[in-house]
A and B are shown apart, each in its own frame.
Chain A
Amino acid sequence: MDKFGHQYRFKTDDDVPGTQIGRKSDKSGDGLKNISSRRTPNAPELDDILAFDDRVDSASSVDIFEWLKSTYQNGRGFELGTFDCSLLGVAMRQQAAKWEAISCGYAGDTVAIVHSFITKLLETLCLNERVSQRLLDLLLDGLLEQYSKTITQVKSFVNVELASVPMTLNHYFNDNLEKWWVTSSPIPI
């Protein structure tokens, strides 16, 4: 999530203070990668409910200022020195476009692990394979229902984060802002 969650790389403090806007990001040394957000293979019976797009690209090489500039200019209205308040929500949605794939991948992994635990447990506890298989068949409907409920919940979290307004009570939001404004902004005179 730390490495692949964002669509565009933020400029960080390692960049020279007061970086020129529009400078091409030169830190894309690792190149574009496409990874899967899944780590654990599915049991065949889970394929149906865990069918979602789990491919995640690494951060785009497009410079974040270029992207923000075009977003800002496309949505410009009558603001004078400020920006449209809906812009932040739009930008956030684009920046966090990959959250769903990543979080669903994580939930899918958890489901796969829980399921293999249950399967192994039944196999170990039951006298023979026939009994464990029959028991699993009986349990499967309830299990699948709960697994898919989990995935739905993860999706609803993504929805809550991105479809509603950006908002926070976390004071780190301001702490961070202040820190960066001290170190990286050019002087406002």
Chain B
Amino acid sequence: MGYFVPYPDLDIHVSNTKSSRQNRMKSALAGKATVASGLGPVVTLDAITKSHPMSNADHTIRDIHDILRSYYKVARKRFVDNVCMYATMYALVYGPDTPLKLFSPQFVSRLSDEQLGEVAGEDPRKKKDRARLLKEIKDLEAGRKVLN
């Protein structure tokens, strides 16, 4: 359904329509004009009748085309703006809840000790090595004590 929201600025003004109709007529007829002496450009009646060959259906289709074209243009601009502004920029880059802001102090403080250990803790192999070395030191200390 084609709604046309009533809004003062949107009405095609009567005066405009009149002048555009005149212009339209002029531009359509200009090509058929011949110059008659003393009268300036003249269009014969036959030429005028021939210049209007469209059927009703063709006329309607022409109107639909123009309306669709105008609406498409406006809608496309609106759509591109909306997608750019709301969907991508706001959701991904600038908004309060973007992926860029996910890694925050709050996020870190929510992690469990286990998870933190996994991320920032030592390599398991190093951990094992360290434990082994500590044990070795302890054993050697014990051995030294015994020798003393």
Chain A contact residues, majority secondary structure: helix
Q: Is B61 an interface residue (CB 8 A)?
A: yes
Complexed CA–CA distance, A106 and B57 (Å)? 39
Check if B29 is an interface residue, CB within 8 A of chain A: yes
Q: Is the CB of B57 within 8 A of A72?
A: yes
Chain A residues with CB under 8 Å of B21's CB are: 188
Flag whether B118 is at the interface (Cβ < 8 A): yes
**Do B72 and A106 touch (CB < 8 A)?**
no
Contact of A130 among B9, B65, B123 (CB under 8 A): B123
**Nearest chain B residue, comparing its CB with the CB of A130:** B123
What is the minimal beta-carbon distance from A188 to any residue of chain B, in angstroms? 7
**Contact between A157 and B56 (Cβ–Cβ < 8 Å)?**
no
Write out the residue numbers on chain B whose beta carbons fall within 8 Å of the beta carbon of A142: 99, 102, 107
CB distance from B106 to the nearest CB of A (A): 12
Closest to A152 in B: B87
Q: Is the CB of B88 within 8 A of A106?
A: yes
CA–CA, A130 and B66, complex, Å: 61
Within the complex, the shortest CB–CB distance from A181 to chain B, in Å, comes to 6
- Inter-chain contacts of A88 with B (CB < 8 A): 1-2, 64, 67-68, 71
**Quick check: A182 and B5 within 8 Å, CB to CB?**
no
Contact with A along B49-66 (1 / 0, CB 8 A): 001111011111111111
User: Chain B's nearest CB lies how many Å from the CB of A120?
Assistant: 13
Interface contact A96-B99, CB-CB below 8 Å: no
Known pairs A96-B75, A150-B91, A187-B29; A167 contacts B61 (CB<8 A): no
Residues 84-124 of A, flagged 1 when their CB comes within 8 A of B and 0 if not, give 01111101100110010001001100110011011000100
A176 touches B73 (CB 8 A): yes
Q: Complex formed: what's the CA distance from A86 to B23 in Å?
A: 31
A171-B9, A173-B71 given; A21·B91 CB < 8 A: no
A99 neighbours in B (Cβ, 8 Å):
79
Q: How far is the CA of A115 from the CA of B28 in the complex (A)?
A: 57
A40 within 8 A of B: no
In this complex, how many residues of chain A approach chain B with their Cβ under 8 Å: the count is 77
- Chain A residue nearest to B7 (CB atoms) is A169
> Which residues from 1 to 17 on chain B have a C-beta closer than 8 Å to any C-beta of chain A?
1-5, 7, 9-12, 16-17
User: Chain B, 73-109, contact with A by CB distance < 8 Å: what is the 0/1 string?
Assistant: 1111011101110111001110001111011000100
Known contacts: A86-B1, A180-B66. The answer to whether A185 contacts B71 by CB under 8 A is no
Measured CB to CB, the residues of B under 8 A from A are 1-5, 7, 9-12, 16-17, 20-21, 23-25, 27-29, 48, 51-54, 56-76, 78-80, 82-84, 86-88, 91-93, 97-100, 102-103, 107, 111, 115, 118-120, 123
Report which A residues bind B (CB closer than 8 A): 1, 5-6, 10-11, 17-18, 21, 64-65, 68-69, 72-73, 81-83, 85-89, 91-92, 95-96, 99, 103, 106-107, 110-111, 114-115, 117-118, 122, 130-131, 134-135, 138-139, 142-143, 146-147, 149-150, 153-154, 157-158, 161, 165-174, 176-178, 180-189
Nearest 7 A/B pairs, CB to CB: A88-B2, A176-B70, A134-B119, A150-B91, A110-B88, A182-B20, A10-B69
